[in-house]
Structure 1
Amino acid sequence: MKTANTLNPLPLSPLTSPLDEQQSTRLQTALVDLSPLQLAWVSGYLAGLGGLTTAANRSAGQPADAPESGPNLTILYGSQTGNTRTVAESLAALVRARGTEPRLLSMADYRPRDLARERLLLVVVSTQGEGEPPESARELHAFLHGKRAPRLEGLRYGVLGLGDSSYEHFCKTARDFDERFKALGGQPLLAPQYCDVAFQEAASAWSLTALERAAEHLVPREARIIQLPGTRPAPKTPPALDQAAPLTAHLLENRIVTTADAVGEVHNLALGIDPAALSYTPGDALGVWFRNDPALVEAVLRATGLDGDAPLSLDGAAYDLREALASRLELTRLHPTVVKAWGGLIGSEPLAALGQDPARLRDYAAGRQFIDLIAEHPGRPDAAALAAALAAALHPLRPRLYSIASSQAEFPDEVHLTIARVGYRVGGQERAGGASDFLTRRLTQDTPVAVHLATNPSFRLPHDGDAPVILIAAGTGVAPFRAFLQQRAAQGDRGRTWLVFGNRNFRRDFLYQLEWQAHRRAGVLSRVSVAFSRDQTDKRYVQHRLIEQGRELYTWLQEGAHLYVCGANAMGRAVHEALLDLIAAQTGSDREDAGEQLTALRRDGRYQRDLY
């Protein structure tokens, strides 16, 4: 959410600046609604773009490449969906705006043993699933909790966590980092900040405070734009825009890839894009904006007694309430904080009691939408105050992320998504997932859809096309592997590929079966192992297939295979446990030794996971 700008740029005049009148006007227009954090980022970016040195260096006559004295600032981020990377890059821009070049790294590119030499460190990290670190942070997290972790008495640090309080282990990874730094002798620069889903305002405030605390230890030197480790060089074509300025795509095809009698309905969507504006790599995800169902919006208006035409201000922009509910506010994901806020608005004692039991509150919110909450706990607060209170209580509508299921090498101006339509019943009423229903039922070829690219550099095919790969997926987790195989086919890679896929039924939901068969015939796919849980009395999942074929799988690993896992967090944990068991069985070692082997594979980039 964009924060209000409290810094009013001074008027520019062609008489006092090197800009002409038209350039001055354009610059003023671009800056007028930026927040302090955004202004600082733009300042750092422009300083680097122009190759400017700091005023301190210029006045002292210090050359741009003069050796640095004093501690440098390192900023580490551990990201799964890209939010923490965005925060870290904004923080780095703040530092550059003050004339110092920070060391900005993904935790995946950081050598844990370098911690012993750090003096100033800011960490931005998310939490996955049941309190687990994101894939890029796993090695550093394990190192800090292991026997080789060094004493850190000389370290001053700060920790910012991004999470979701609807999960039991809210921001656990960030808490882990803070506790371990402190236990190893580190000195906090400021209190840790644990941000909920709407993180922008809290993250901005923490970033500014962290920089103020670190400023007295920093030594100014030339600010410049540097290439982030693990990223591709900047393309000559315009880059894909971020969430603040999405691109536009349009529907080309909506094809159901399950049978009519399948338990779940899965679609393959093909969206047309401008390849000059959006360039993606297999393993990346696409963020998709959507609109809430108009029928749901009207139901909320009826239940609250509010006028849909009533004006409402959100982030400084004017809407009528109906449009705000349709396009700006979250209605289909009920967050525990919304339950507590509604209980406060209507003075509900049952909801107040529910708010005192976090586990019950999470369970209640997980199975309902906002319309269910207000239907089960009706109330009619003062209409004049209710609309603004709802806008403050409901979370902003965020784009949903989907793994990209196509390769641009095969579909240069398209991006494909594998979408399971979410549907369930609450109190006898049919409910649908906001994004999946919009994309599979309500999106037409005449309706543009806003999208943004979420890169995932920690989930990539090996650079060596001769390297064997093992792809393990369940359900729609197979989406990125469809892209992987298209890419390998287009590149003419000769490495063997083994797909291990699981779902409910062979006949009903063997997703993309004909495509896998075509890849088998073409020699792109060497081996397929399947597990359909409901085709026999005893349920069989992908982890069972791994154990059954443990000897062959371990042989592939010994021959240099890269291992990929994509699917739900629970599936990822089950697969990891199965890998520990099969490695221990094949080597005659214990699970601790097997864990070290998996850690080594992860460190070498040969064990990559994309879990959700």
Structure 2
Amino acid sequence: MNPQPIPFIPDDAPFNPDQRAWLNGFLAGMFSTATQTAAQPSATSEEVALYFATQSGTAERLAKKFAKDLKANGHRPVLASLAETDMASFASQRCAVIFASTYGDGEAPENSRSFRDALLAEDCARLNSLRYAVFSLGDSSYEQFCQFGVELDERLADLGATRIIGRVESDVDVDAPFAAWKDTCIATIGKKNGASPSVSVAAVPIAPVSVTAKPSLYSRDSPFPAEIVERRALTTGTSSKLTMHLALQLNESLPYEAGDACGVIAQNDAALVDEIISLLPFDGTTPVDLPKIGSTTVQYALTQLYQHTRASRKMVQAFASRTQHKNLLTLLQPEQGGHLDKYLYDRGLIDLLSEYRGAIESPSELFAILPRLTPRLYSISSSPAAHGHELHCTIAVVKYRSHNRERGGVASTMLSDRLEVGQTVPVYIQPNQKFRLPADGRTPIIMIGPGTGVAPFRSFLHERRALGHKGKNWLFFGERSVQTDFLYCNELQEMCDSGHLTRLDTAFSRDQATKIYVQDRMLEHGALFWSWLQEDARIYVCGDATYMAKDVDAALHALIEKHGGMGPEAAQEYVTKLQDESRYHRDIY
């Protein structure tokens, strides 16, 4: 039989060299996978434990898709969340596939941290009988890209488990990497006797490729110096928090689309850096050689390069090892995961340096325990069609007091306090291909965005009006009080009056004895919500992943059950179909 030629991207296709190389590699991998799968069909049926660790729901969605394909291939999948899995149960498995999201600065999703701590514990049982695969999800705009998945994969190998197939590190556009990896993984699981490759497949970093976005001259590594042209408070002086509107001047070299995010290259507070240096046995001018960076000074590294305002498990481990302090050693015990999270929540490097003097003796020790300072991403609240090259962000300024110290968010306080209008800030655009308006301007959209989650929906509303889209628009907005926290109140009211914003339902939680949230408003208007879904409406959710997004998702399931006349399983299938058809979008953090 003559070998079939491997497909490739021609040189004159509309891709840059990096994109063309990636696509050619992707096609080659899919081609070889297809031929191998055809030649070696599944030979055995096996029980496969599928675990997911998720913050926004994507990992769980992929695990459920994987389960369906496993069943179709004659296997017996068992689905479980790592949040509800103990090590004894996990260690009893013989074949496991893990879908692991990374949250924040390389952290496991909050509800999976107990499992992570148990797995990383020194007394964790050996797993010599386990075959496993890890599909890790992350966002490449963060320094610790897919870190939790990397930790799981490497720790399982250290404990004697055998890889079924190499780890995939997927960026935000997960569907193509998942499809390519899934088929090979299932084919390998089904090989006769369940034999795993004697040498594990190398990890496959997969980056999204956009064929529609106009290329930019600027990036995270080469940001654009955007001038601050406006800054104003959106909350009143009596509000318990400050949310501000920030306008930046771009040019045609840095295009963006409605739904994208603005990446801000932040710097640490110089006063805090000086205080940290005062607690070290070396000064800011001390030279230090850093991996991938080269030679610089301690002062520059602490100001520009490293994150130190939030304590981490790695910091506590280092200080515990060097001081042997009982309190720190106790916090690191597997059963103390909750107490450790509470300890880390409102502390930074300066707290450890203040309390445990002399633990850090050299610059190399210091920077070995600090994560890189990552850009901060803010959903863009302006519309390129309506606002041209002016980009708007809606920013909650993080300020609080803990342990007798005033603290604040690195980027938000820089933008609100340490820079002035007229100065520049380095920025880049982070595309969000999964959070786009429908191509058909007649399609109804439902937007759910409490607090600063309203940002992309302000962008959507301005964009649709500027483009003349006639589809219906429904916004659910929530905050603390109508008098102090109604962001963009006048704009939204004007859009309501003109008919462009078809419905505006608000939930101000502290304006009555019983707190009301956006999910409550969804249930109140469940019948109308369901009727919009029957008109092919798209749902968009933006905001907090820990509580809001879960409550909104639960409300969506509940109203579908009630007004669609479905049981829980049918409602779940309906929501999964919404996701598969790109009708349910979430930008949560």
Residue 511 of structure 1 is matched in structure 2 by 487
Q: Does 2:465 correspond to 1:538?
A: no
Q: Distance in 1 between matches of 2:562 and 2:96?
A: 42
Q: Distance in 2 between matches of 1:116 and 1:478?
A: 46
| CA distance 1:563–1:168, shift in 2 (3 Å) | closer
Q: Please, which moves more after superposition, 190-199 or 525-534?
A: 190-199
Residue 475 of structure 1 is matched in structure 2 by 451
Q: Give, as a single letter, the amino acid of the residue that structure 1 aligns with 2:507.
A: A
Q: Distance in 2 between matches of 1:93 and 1:322?
A: 40
Residue 169 of structure 1 is matched in structure 2 by 112
Q: Distance in 2 between matches of 1:233 and 1:171?
A: 42
Residue 82 of structure 2 is matched in structure 1 by none
Among 600, 604, 610, the alignment partner of 2:577 is 600
Secondary structure of 1:371's counterpart equals helix
Q: Distance in 1 between matches of 2:579 and 2:134?
A: 32
Q: Does 2:54 correspond to 1:132?
A: yes
Residue 238 of structure 2 is matched in structure 1 by 261
Secondary structure of 1:450's counterpart equals strand
8 A contact 2:539–2:584 mirrored in 1: yes
Among 298, 313, 316, the alignment partner of 1:336 is 313
Secondary structure of 1:169's counterpart equals helix
Q: Give, as a single letter, the amino acid of the residue that structure 1 aligns with 2:296.
A: Y
| Pairs within 5 Å for 1:85-104 | 101-103=28-30
Q: Give, as a single letter, the amino acid of the residue that structure 2 aligns with 1:67.
A: Q
| Pairs within 5 Å for 1:226-265 | 231-233=210-212, 235=214, 238-239=215-216, 241-265=218-242
| CA distance 1:119–1:244, shift in 2 (3 Å) | farther
| CA distance 1:513–1:193, shift in 2 (3 Å) | closer
Secondary structure of 1:165's counterpart equals coil
| CA distance 1:588–1:274, shift in 2 (3 Å) | same
Offset, 1:536: 0.2
Secondary structure of 1:304's counterpart equals coil
Secondary structure of 1:543's counterpart equals helix
Q: Distance in 2 between matches of 1:114 and 1:466?
A: 43
8 A contact 2:56–2:549 mirrored in 1: no
Q: Distance in 1 between matches of 2:74 and 2:419?
A: 54
Q: CA RMSD in A?
A: 4.3
Instruction: Give per-residue Cα distances to partners, 1:148-186, cap 9 Å, x unaligned.
Output: 733388xx999895623364425999xxxxxxxxxxxx9
| CA distance 1:245–1:197, shift in 2 (3 Å) | closer
8 A contact 1:161–1:171 mirrored in 2: no
Among 480, 498, 504, the alignment partner of 1:522 is 498
Instruction: Give per-residue Cα distances to partners, 1:246-283, cap 9 Å, x unaligned.
Output: 2322211111100001111001111111222x221111
8 A contact 1:165–1:336 mirrored in 2: no
Among 50, 63, 67, the alignment partner of 2:4 is 67
Q: Give, as a single letter, the amino acid of the residue that structure 1 aligns with 2:73.
A: R
Q: Does 2:282 correspond to 1:360?
A: no
Q: Give, as a single letter, the amino acid of the residue that structure 2 aligns with 1:348.
A: H
| CA distance 1:118–1:160, shift in 2 (3 Å) | farther
Q: Please, which moves more after superposition, 518-527 or 574-583?
A: 518-527
Q: Distance in 1 between matches of 2:198 and 2:28?
A: 12
8 A contact 1:312–1:321 mirrored in 2: yes
| CA distance 1:444–1:115, shift in 2 (3 Å) | farther
| Pairs within 5 Å for 1:484-499 | 484-499=460-475
Offset, 1:317: 2.4
Residue 379 of structure 1 is matched in structure 2 by 357
8 A contact 1:168–1:359 mirrored in 2: no
Q: Distance in 1 between matches of 2:270 and 2:553?
A: 43
8 A contact 1:135–1:458 mirrored in 2: no
8 A contact 2:53–2:99 mirrored in 1: no
Q: Give, as a single letter, the amino acid of the residue that structure 1 aligns with 2:440.
A: D
| CA distance 1:135–1:361, shift in 2 (3 Å) | closer
Among 31, 44, 65, the alignment partner of 1:143 is 65
Q: Give, as a single letter, the amino acid of the residue that structure 2 aligns with 1:578.
A: A
Secondary structure of 2:226's counterpart equals strand
Residue 437 of structure 1 is matched in structure 2 by 413
Secondary structure of 1:145's counterpart equals helix
Residue 297 of structure 2 is matched in structure 1 by 320
| CA distance 1:294–1:141, shift in 2 (3 Å) | same
8 A contact 2:332–2:340 mirrored in 1: yes
Q: Distance in 1 between matches of 2:35 and 2:502?
A: 41
Secondary structure of 1:102's counterpart equals helix
Residue 59 of structure 1 is matched in structure 2 by none
Q: Distance in 2 between matches of 1:348 and 1:216?
A: 42
| CA distance 1:115–1:508, shift in 2 (3 Å) | farther
Q: Does 2:198 correspond to 1:198?
A: no
8 A contact 2:443–2:472 mirrored in 1: yes
Offset, 1:203: 6.7
Q: Distance in 1 between matches of 2:55 and 2:37?
A: 21
8 A contact 1:240–1:279 mirrored in 2: no
Instruction: Give per-residue Cα distances to partners, 1:196-236, cap 9 Å, x unaligned.
Output: 9635999799999879x999999xxxxxxx9978x44353x
After TM superposition, the score normalised by the length of structure 2 is 0.72
Offset, 1:245: 2.7
8 A contact 1:135–1:609 mirrored in 2: no
Q: Distance in 2 between matches of 1:114 and 1:597?
A: 34
In percent, how many aligned pairs have the same letter?
A: 32
For structure 2, the 5+ residue unaligned runs are: 9-16, 42-51, 76-94, 117-129, 155-162, 169-195
Residue 46 of structure 1 is matched in structure 2 by none
| CA distance 1:352–1:233, shift in 2 (3 Å) | same
| CA distance 1:268–1:214, shift in 2 (3 Å) | farther
Secondary structure of 1:545's counterpart equals helix
Secondary structure of 2:386's counterpart equals coil
Q: Give, as a single letter, the amino acid of the residue that structure 2 aligns with 1:398.
A: T
Offset, 1:329: 1.0
8 A contact 2:231–2:246 mirrored in 1: yes
8 A contact 1:282–1:460 mirrored in 2: yes
After TM superposition, the score normalised by the length of structure 1 is 0.70
Secondary structure of 1:249's counterpart equals strand
| Pairs within 5 Å for 1:418-433 | 418-433=394-409
Offset, 1:478: 0.6
| CA distance 1:403–1:519, shift in 2 (3 Å) | same
Instruction: Give per-residue Cα distances to partners, 1:451-479, cap 9 Å, x unaligned.
Output: 22221111111111011111111111111
Q: Distance in 2 between matches of 1:335 and 1:287?
A: 23
Residue 538 of structure 2 is matched in structure 1 by 562
Q: Distance in 2 between matches of 1:543 and 1:209?
A: 40
Matched positions, count: 485
| CA distance 1:466–1:396, shift in 2 (3 Å) | same
| Pairs within 5 Å for 1:32-111 | 67-68=4-5, 101-103=28-30
Q: Distance in 2 between matches of 1:118 and 1:525?
A: 56
Q: Distance in 1 between matches of 2:225 and 2:358?
A: 39
| CA distance 1:256–1:152, shift in 2 (3 Å) | farther
Q: Distance in 2 between matches of 1:518 and 1:552?
A: 23
Instruction: Give per-residue Cα distances to partners, 1:375-415, cap 9 Å, x unaligned.
Output: 2x221247xx4221111111111111111111111222122
Among 581, 598, 603, the alignment partner of 2:558 is 581
Q: Give, as a single letter, the amino acid of the residue that structure 1 aligns with 2:343.
A: Y
Q: Please, which moves more after superposition, 593-602 or 192-201?
A: 192-201
Residue 450 of structure 1 is matched in structure 2 by 426
| Pairs within 5 Å for 1:277-356 | 278-314=254-290, 315-356=292-333
